[in-house]
Structure 1
Amino acid sequence: MIGMLDKRFKELIDKIRSKSYIDKKSLDEIIKELQRILLSADVNVKVVFEISKRIKERVLNEYSQSRGVQLKDLVIKILYEELVKILGEEKRDIIIAKKPFVILFIGLEGSGKTTSVAKLAKYFAENGLRVGVFSLDIHRPAAIEQLEQLVNRIQADVEKIKFINIEGTSLNEKIRTILDILKDRDVILVDTAGRHKNEESLLKELENIYKYLTPDFTILVIDAYMGQKAYDHTLALKSRVNIDGIIVSKMDGSSKGGGAISASVASGAKILFLGVGEKVDDLEPYDPKSFVSRLLGLGDLDGLLTRVERLLKREVYDEKKLRELAKGRLTLVDVVTQFENIEKMGGLYKILSYLPGFSGKFRKEEIDEMETVIRKWKAAINSMTIEEKINPSIIKGSRITRISRGSGVDERLIKNLIKQYKIMQKLMKDRKHKRMFKEMLKSTRQL
């Protein structure tokens, strides 16, 4: 439920908020628009009409019993609660109950399963766990190579992941040997070949793997493009092996994500994560309340804080640098650091999507333009001398020309950067902002 669908939900909320009075006719119009939005997301027709009926009944019943509550606020509250209900209700976590904790991955070919294995490996490693990874995909040799490449790429940042592969043995022998090699790991992630619910030979192979591996946890990876077809697919695989949780991949590109999520929930499976991009960092723990809050444009500050906290754990902050900020001394070195932090948190578009009132305020094209300017500013700063970075007030005339030639950035953009820097510098001198940075310093000491 990304992009256009978010926009339609936010427009619906704005429409509700703009009404000075809501009668039964207005309520019917709101519910019809909700139905159109959900059906466009490939949510099952029966589910759509059930939620519509519940919302109308609850609004009429609860408003008659409430005092001092505006009807439009009640409509938004009930809409939020009913969407949360069909999209999973409570956040689910993987509890590592023993070591090594073996997690088996299953799913259709092309569902993003192998990439999801790598993403979860990094997620666990960043949370301090030693991770082992191997593949049992004997039908697509490139899959093993792909997984190894992804793990090697991750190891540049995280060193707690070990990839193992053994050639020329049966599946059962491979399982036995690799599990023995990885027995010192906290978590072991096992990739498998993609298989369809109608491919009997592959399903029997999966049953054999499941029986011999005896995983502690099994994750089904569902492609968001499946929409409501995810329901039948999940039930078919559940009849062969136990499914403990689901990752819905490709949520960044599909308008059918809502259908895939609601179908998975209807099957009784628990959604754990959403794949929201191609990068190994693009894996978000799935929290239905947070997801619906962002979807409706109500803001998700908790989600933003979670991403910031994750970044803070990964970075070693220099207390001296924060002390300088608290004193009002801001350098262009600090500005570059902030630009890099924005990139690591998923970029401006992702950050703004968490903030109430901002998610629908800027078009994607406008945010892309902002990010282009930021990249050019960063290139300009990297072409400056240490003296210029520490004391930008000396950057004038010939220095601007030199920086422009060295970075390939237009002189006007460099002048604009200096102007924005001076505005930030003034903010840092403000008492209110000093207190904010002192709180930042205090919180980093507690990490």
Structure 2
Amino acid sequence: MSNSAGWDHPRASLYTDHYELTMLQAALHSGAAHRRSVFEAFARRLPDGRRYGIVGGTGRLLEGLADFRFGDAELDFLGRTGVVNQETLDYLANYRFTGDIWGYPEGEAYFPNSPILIVESTFAEACMLETYFLSVLNHDSAIASAASRMITAAGSRPCIEMGSRRTHEESAAAAARAAVIAGFHSTSNLEAGIRYGIKTVGTAAHSFTLLHDSERDAFAAQIASLGVGTSLLVDTYDVEAAVRAAVELAGPKLGGVRLDSGDLVAQASWVRRLLDELGNENTRIMVTSDLDEFAIAALQSAPVDSYGVGTSLVTGSGAPTASMVYKLVSRTDDAGNFVSVAKAAKNKTSMGGRKYALRRLNERGIATQEIVGIGHRPEDDGNDRPLLQQFMKNGELFPGWTGPEGVVRARQRHADSMAELPAVVNRLQRGEAAIPTTYEEY
């Protein structure tokens, strides 16, 4: 099936775990399935040593929710394999989410126990969304969080996402989207380009040079086809010889050279000197080769113009999941009154009750606390910022959160959010969360 942008994808309804549907069956049997319920997605902790996280994936899960249906193929599979009984199949045949969804906007910074997503509906409608929502949030938030750290390390130098070949094909498009939300300039992934309106870039790999009888022939062919503004990969054989050949062929308008191996700090420095000596002061230097935020930080003193980041980015730079969970925090009793519920197991406790959140700012507009109200909205002391936005009401999606528009909006939210956080978030050293989370109860 296709969405409004024209790209094909499977239904989201079976991107789930078997036990979501057996829970539904048992709840339908007990009569509790239609109790009004509040579920919350949050992370109990940040990855070890990280000072903040960045929300990613909300727009994608909202897009998927629009197609969260059970058609003939899905119902046939569930019935034929005995996953659920006929009563449950009858319910699923007419499934449509009709509740409300609130959450932190994509690009927003989050901290331990921030109520990142709040789902209000019946238990039957909300319980089935757990696995799908968490798979999207955990993956995309991990990528966005890693990307944000890389952007911080890069400063004003642009970063390009180029990790498609290091992950699953669907994850590749999602990773590109999450990276751009957190400030990356562009991606090499064309699917991300068509889905989300992201700028795509790329020129040539080592195989293009090896295809030709000489490096000079390869460069000449690339320049003739793509123009002198192209970037040439200069480390297939001898870097100095390649740079000299590139300048001879393209002249002073050569767009750039790319370095993909060796001691990048030293190599970038002498390549810069060589380019300048040859009259190519405006030719840019791009570096790749298994970069992460620490390698990018180490290159700050080098005359590098941009970074291409792959493996480390699409694997979360050591934290491939945001470790978010999705918990029932409130539901109605037999009288129709909401009661708080919470898991109390050792080391996995959660706080019951519907949450509200704001970011407390000081007189300079710098964040000092995350205030989470349980069952009520925390009081704004005058310049605080509410964090929860409503994405969906009565099953209807509010505009602006999905598609290319959602990416642009999330990118701005990331920039604004980072600007109000304390300077400690710019440090790559291990440390505690940049601001504490404080609960307010009645």
TM-score range, shorter chain: under 0.3
TM-score computed with the length of structure 1 as normaliser: 0.27
More helix by share: 1
TM-score computed with the length of structure 2 as normaliser: 0.27
The structure showing larger relative contact order (alpha-carbon pairs under 8 Å, at least 6 residues apart) is 2
